[in-house]
Amino acid sequence: MNTIFTFMILINTILFPAHENAKNSFAFIHDQVILTVKDELSIPVYIQHEVDQINKAMIDFATVKASGFVSSHNDITTNVITNHHVCTEIFNSDKPSIMQSVESLLREKINQTNPILFLYYDLSYRYVATDYDGNDYVIKQVIKSEPKTDLCLLETERVWGVPAKINEKECSPSEVIYNMSASGGIYHPKAVPFRQGFYNGKVFNEIMTARQYNERSLFTLSARTGASGSAVFNRNGKVCGNISHSISDLDVCYGSTVNDLKSFLR
Protein backbone atom coordinates (compact mmCIF):
# COMPACT_ATOMS: atom_id res chain seq x y z
CA MET A 1 0.00 0.00 0.00
CA ASN A 2 2.84 2.41 0.90
CA THR A 3 4.51 1.69 -2.45
CA ILE A 4 1.31 2.51 -4.34
CA PHE A 5 0.82 5.71 -2.31
CA THR A 6 4.41 6.81 -2.98
CA PHE A 7 3.99 6.07 -6.69
CA MET A 8 0.76 8.15 -6.83
CA ILE A 9 2.51 11.11 -5.18
CA LEU A 10 5.36 10.85 -7.69
CA ILE A 11 2.97 10.81 -10.65
CA ASN A 12 1.03 13.75 -9.22
CA THR A 13 4.23 15.74 -8.73
CA ILE A 14 5.32 15.11 -12.33
CA LEU A 15 1.96 15.88 -13.93
CA PHE A 16 0.85 18.74 -11.67
CA PRO A 17 4.02 20.44 -10.34
CA ALA A 18 2.31 23.80 -9.71
CA HIS A 19 -0.31 22.25 -7.44
CA GLU A 20 2.16 20.01 -5.61
CA ASN A 21 4.72 22.79 -5.09
CA ALA A 22 1.99 25.18 -3.94
CA LYS A 23 0.79 22.62 -1.37
CA ASN A 24 4.26 21.77 -0.12
CA SER A 25 5.36 25.39 0.34
CA PHE A 26 2.05 26.96 1.43
CA ALA A 27 1.75 28.97 4.66
CA PHE A 28 -1.42 30.43 6.17
CA ILE A 29 -0.31 33.33 8.37
CA HIS A 30 -2.67 34.30 11.19
CA ASP A 31 -3.10 35.01 14.88
CA GLN A 32 -4.80 32.63 17.27
CA VAL A 33 -5.90 32.04 20.83
CA ILE A 34 -4.80 28.53 21.68
CA LEU A 35 -4.42 26.10 24.56
CA THR A 36 -0.75 25.17 24.93
CA VAL A 37 0.73 22.47 27.19
CA LYS A 38 2.12 23.78 30.48
CA ASP A 39 4.66 21.05 31.20
CA GLU A 40 5.73 17.63 30.02
CA LEU A 41 2.89 15.97 31.92
CA SER A 42 1.06 12.74 31.24
CA ILE A 43 -2.20 14.12 29.83
CA PRO A 44 -5.31 11.90 29.67
CA VAL A 45 -6.30 11.05 26.12
CA TYR A 46 -9.84 12.42 26.49
CA ILE A 47 -8.44 15.81 27.56
CA GLN A 48 -6.01 15.87 24.61
CA HIS A 49 -8.92 15.15 22.26
CA GLU A 50 -11.06 17.92 23.76
CA VAL A 51 -8.21 20.43 23.52
CA ASP A 52 -7.56 19.46 19.88
CA GLN A 53 -11.20 20.18 19.05
CA ILE A 54 -11.13 23.55 20.82
CA ASN A 55 -7.92 24.61 19.07
CA LYS A 56 -9.24 23.60 15.64
CA ALA A 57 -12.38 25.65 16.19
CA MET A 58 -10.40 28.76 17.18
CA ILE A 59 -8.88 29.28 13.71
CA ASP A 60 -12.09 30.97 12.51
CA PHE A 61 -11.58 33.79 15.02
CA ALA A 62 -8.28 34.99 13.51
CA THR A 63 -8.12 38.76 13.02
CA VAL A 64 -5.02 38.55 10.80
CA LYS A 65 -5.44 36.28 7.77
CA ALA A 66 -2.76 36.25 5.08
CA SER A 67 -0.65 33.81 3.07
CA GLY A 68 2.97 33.12 2.30
CA PHE A 69 5.33 30.45 1.02
CA VAL A 70 8.40 28.63 2.31
CA SER A 71 11.59 30.05 0.84
CA SER A 72 14.32 28.20 2.75
CA HIS A 73 15.32 26.20 5.80
CA ASN A 74 17.91 27.55 8.19
CA ASP A 75 19.33 25.02 10.68
CA ILE A 76 16.32 24.29 12.91
CA THR A 77 13.98 26.97 11.54
CA THR A 78 12.04 27.68 8.36
CA ASN A 79 11.84 30.99 6.49
CA VAL A 80 8.60 32.16 4.91
CA ILE A 81 8.01 34.98 2.42
CA THR A 82 4.93 37.15 2.75
CA ASN A 83 4.16 40.88 2.34
CA HIS A 84 5.63 43.82 4.21
CA HIS A 85 2.13 45.07 5.00
CA VAL A 86 1.32 41.70 6.60
CA CYS A 87 4.40 41.86 8.84
CA THR A 88 3.56 45.44 9.81
CA GLU A 89 0.08 44.35 10.85
CA ILE A 90 1.51 41.54 12.97
CA PHE A 91 4.46 43.16 14.68
CA ASN A 92 3.42 46.80 15.01
CA SER A 93 0.14 46.25 16.80
CA ASP A 94 -1.11 45.09 20.19
CA LYS A 95 -3.48 42.20 20.66
CA PRO A 96 -6.73 43.16 18.86
CA SER A 97 -9.62 43.91 21.22
CA ILE A 98 -11.73 41.23 19.55
CA MET A 99 -9.10 38.62 20.43
CA GLN A 100 -9.08 39.83 24.03
CA SER A 101 -12.84 39.24 24.09
CA VAL A 102 -12.46 35.79 22.51
CA GLU A 103 -9.79 34.85 25.03
CA SER A 104 -11.94 36.03 27.94
CA LEU A 105 -15.05 34.20 26.71
CA LEU A 106 -13.12 30.98 26.06
CA ARG A 107 -11.51 31.06 29.49
CA GLU A 108 -14.92 31.57 31.11
CA LYS A 109 -16.49 28.76 29.06
CA ILE A 110 -13.72 26.29 29.95
CA ASN A 111 -13.99 27.20 33.63
CA GLN A 112 -17.70 26.43 33.47
CA THR A 113 -17.49 23.17 31.53
CA ASN A 114 -14.11 21.57 32.21
CA PRO A 115 -11.78 23.59 34.48
CA ILE A 116 -9.45 20.60 34.77
CA LEU A 117 -8.03 21.61 31.36
CA PHE A 118 -6.18 24.46 33.05
CA LEU A 119 -4.21 21.93 35.13
CA TYR A 120 -2.48 20.88 31.93
CA TYR A 121 -2.84 23.82 29.54
CA ASP A 122 -2.38 27.59 29.38
CA LEU A 123 -4.44 29.89 27.19
CA SER A 124 -2.14 32.00 25.03
CA TYR A 125 -2.20 34.42 22.09
CA ARG A 126 0.32 34.07 19.26
CA TYR A 127 1.05 34.45 15.54
CA VAL A 128 1.66 31.32 13.52
CA ALA A 129 2.21 29.95 10.04
CA THR A 130 -0.05 26.96 9.36
CA ASP A 131 0.89 24.55 6.59
CA TYR A 132 -1.38 22.86 4.05
CA ASP A 133 -2.03 19.91 6.40
CA GLY A 134 -3.00 22.10 9.37
CA ASN A 135 0.21 22.03 11.43
CA ASP A 136 1.04 25.26 13.30
CA TYR A 137 4.52 26.81 13.53
CA VAL A 138 5.11 29.83 15.76
CA ILE A 139 6.44 32.94 14.00
CA LYS A 140 9.64 33.86 15.82
CA GLN A 141 10.79 37.06 14.16
CA VAL A 142 11.01 39.22 11.06
CA ILE A 143 14.32 38.61 9.30
CA LYS A 144 13.85 41.32 6.69
CA SER A 145 11.01 43.57 5.55
CA GLU A 146 11.00 45.96 2.59
CA PRO A 147 8.27 48.57 1.89
CA LYS A 148 9.41 49.36 -1.66
CA THR A 149 8.64 45.81 -2.87
CA ASP A 150 6.09 44.95 -0.15
CA LEU A 151 8.08 41.83 0.73
CA CYS A 152 8.83 40.36 4.14
CA LEU A 153 10.83 37.34 5.29
CA LEU A 154 9.68 35.60 8.48
CA GLU A 155 11.44 33.03 10.61
CA THR A 156 9.25 30.25 12.00
CA GLU A 157 10.05 27.49 14.44
CA ARG A 158 11.14 24.02 13.28
CA VAL A 159 11.96 22.68 9.81
CA TRP A 160 8.86 22.12 7.69
CA GLY A 161 7.54 22.45 4.15
CA VAL A 162 9.45 22.35 0.88
CA PRO A 163 11.02 25.64 -0.30
CA ALA A 164 9.49 26.97 -3.52
CA LYS A 165 11.92 27.71 -6.35
CA ILE A 166 11.93 31.14 -7.98
CA ASN A 167 11.69 31.05 -11.80
CA GLU A 168 14.93 31.80 -13.65
CA LYS A 169 13.42 34.84 -15.40
CA GLU A 170 10.20 36.83 -15.54
CA CYS A 171 7.31 34.73 -16.76
CA SER A 172 5.89 35.42 -20.22
CA PRO A 173 2.79 37.56 -20.82
CA SER A 174 -0.30 35.36 -21.34
CA GLU A 175 1.42 32.48 -19.52
CA VAL A 176 -0.97 30.40 -17.39
CA ILE A 177 -0.34 30.83 -13.67
CA TYR A 178 -1.62 29.20 -10.47
CA ASN A 179 -2.14 30.36 -6.92
CA MET A 180 -2.94 28.69 -3.62
CA SER A 181 -3.98 31.11 -0.90
CA ALA A 182 -6.35 31.82 1.97
CA SER A 183 -8.24 34.17 -0.33
CA GLY A 184 -11.18 35.73 1.46
CA GLY A 185 -9.66 34.40 4.70
CA ILE A 186 -10.73 30.87 3.76
CA TYR A 187 -8.48 28.14 5.12
CA HIS A 188 -9.22 24.51 5.91
CA PRO A 189 -6.53 21.83 6.35
CA LYS A 190 -5.98 20.00 3.05
CA ALA A 191 -8.67 22.12 1.37
CA VAL A 192 -7.05 25.44 0.46
CA PRO A 193 -8.44 27.46 -2.50
CA PHE A 194 -6.38 26.87 -5.65
CA ARG A 195 -6.88 29.19 -8.65
CA GLN A 196 -5.79 29.47 -12.24
CA GLY A 197 -5.20 32.71 -14.12
CA PHE A 198 -2.77 34.51 -16.41
CA TYR A 199 0.45 36.44 -16.02
CA ASN A 200 0.07 39.72 -17.92
CA GLY A 201 3.56 41.16 -17.66
CA LYS A 202 5.25 43.99 -15.76
CA VAL A 203 3.49 47.32 -15.28
CA PHE A 204 4.02 50.47 -13.22
CA ASN A 205 1.71 50.50 -10.23
CA GLU A 206 1.64 52.15 -6.83
CA ILE A 207 3.12 50.06 -4.03
CA MET A 208 0.67 50.77 -1.23
CA THR A 209 3.18 50.38 1.61
CA ALA A 210 5.75 52.70 0.04
CA ARG A 211 3.33 55.14 -1.62
CA GLN A 212 5.43 55.15 -4.77
CA TYR A 213 5.23 53.68 -8.26
CA ASN A 214 7.49 50.85 -9.28
CA GLU A 215 7.53 47.85 -11.60
CA ARG A 216 4.97 45.29 -10.49
CA SER A 217 3.67 42.01 -11.87
CA LEU A 218 0.09 42.06 -13.13
CA PHE A 219 -1.95 38.87 -12.79
CA THR A 220 -5.45 38.10 -14.03
CA LEU A 221 -6.47 36.14 -10.98
CA SER A 222 -9.53 36.05 -8.74
CA ALA A 223 -8.22 36.69 -5.23
CA ARG A 224 -9.36 38.56 -2.14
CA THR A 225 -8.03 39.72 1.21
CA GLY A 226 -6.09 36.83 2.73
CA ALA A 227 -4.23 36.07 -0.50
CA SER A 228 -1.60 38.68 0.37
CA GLY A 229 1.88 37.17 0.33
CA SER A 230 0.95 33.99 -1.52
CA ALA A 231 3.12 32.66 -4.34
CA VAL A 232 2.10 32.66 -8.00
CA PHE A 233 3.39 29.60 -9.85
CA ASN A 234 3.85 28.87 -13.53
CA ARG A 235 2.96 25.54 -15.13
CA ASN A 236 6.41 24.15 -14.21
CA GLY A 237 5.80 24.85 -10.52
CA LYS A 238 8.21 27.77 -10.20
CA VAL A 239 7.40 31.14 -8.63
CA CYS A 240 6.59 34.06 -10.96
CA GLY A 241 5.98 36.51 -8.10
CA ASN A 242 3.68 36.87 -5.13
CA ILE A 243 0.40 38.69 -4.60
CA SER A 244 0.50 42.07 -2.89
CA HIS A 245 -2.99 43.44 -3.44
CA SER A 246 -6.01 42.83 -5.65
CA ILE A 247 -8.76 44.74 -7.40
CA SER A 248 -11.60 42.37 -6.65
CA ASP A 249 -14.19 43.77 -9.06
CA LEU A 250 -11.78 43.22 -11.96
CA ASP A 251 -10.24 39.89 -10.88
CA VAL A 252 -6.82 41.52 -11.16
CA CYS A 253 -3.87 41.31 -8.74
CA TYR A 254 -0.59 43.19 -8.46
CA GLY A 255 2.51 41.75 -6.88
CA SER A 256 6.25 41.32 -6.83
CA THR A 257 8.31 40.46 -9.89
CA VAL A 258 10.86 37.66 -10.16
CA ASN A 259 13.60 40.30 -9.98
CA ASP A 260 12.05 41.71 -6.79
CA LEU A 261 12.13 38.31 -5.12
CA LYS A 262 15.68 37.49 -6.22
CA SER A 263 17.02 40.86 -5.11
CA PHE A 264 15.18 40.65 -1.79
CA LEU A 265 16.60 37.19 -1.01
CA ARG A 266 20.21 38.07 -1.83
pLDDT digits (tens, 9 = 90+) for 223-265: 888 999 999 999 999 999 999 998 877 889 999 999 999 999 9
pLDDT band for position 20 (cuts 50, 70, 90): very high
Q: Could you tell me if 131 and 161 are in contact, meaning their C-beta atoms sit under 8 angstroms apart?
A: yes
- Predicted confidence (pLDDT) at residue 35 exceeds the cutoff of 80: yes
Q: What is the pLDDT of residue 56?
A: 82
Res. 174: pLDDT tops 50 = yes
How many angstroms separate the CA atoms of 220 and 223, rounded?
Answer: 9
- Whole-angstrom distance, CA of residue 226 vs CA of residue 131: 15
- The Cα 53–Cα 49 span in angstroms is 6
Identify the CATH assignment for 21-157 out of 3.30.1490.150, 2.40.10.10, 3.40.50.150, 3.40.50.1370. 2.40.10.10
pLDDT score of 237: 97
Domain boundaries, the chain: 21-157, 175-265
Average per-residue pLDDT for the chain: 90
pTM score: 0.87
* Higher-scoring residue by pLDDT: 95, 155: 155
Least Cα distance to 232 among 266, 196, 208, 205 occurs for 196
Model confidence at 92: pLDDT above 90: no
Question: 159 or 10: which carries more pLDDT confidence?
Answer: 159
Question: Residue 157's beta-bridge partner residues?
Answer: 77
Decide which of 2.40.10.170, 3.20.20.70, 2.40.160.60, 2.40.10.10 is the CATH code for 175-265: 2.40.10.10
Report residue 13's pLDDT band, with 50, 70 and 90 as the boundaries. Answer: very low
Q: What is the 3-state secondary structure (H, E, C) of 221-250?
A: CCCCCCCCCCEEEECCCCEEEEEEEEEHHH
The Cα–Cα gap between 113 and 17 comes to 47
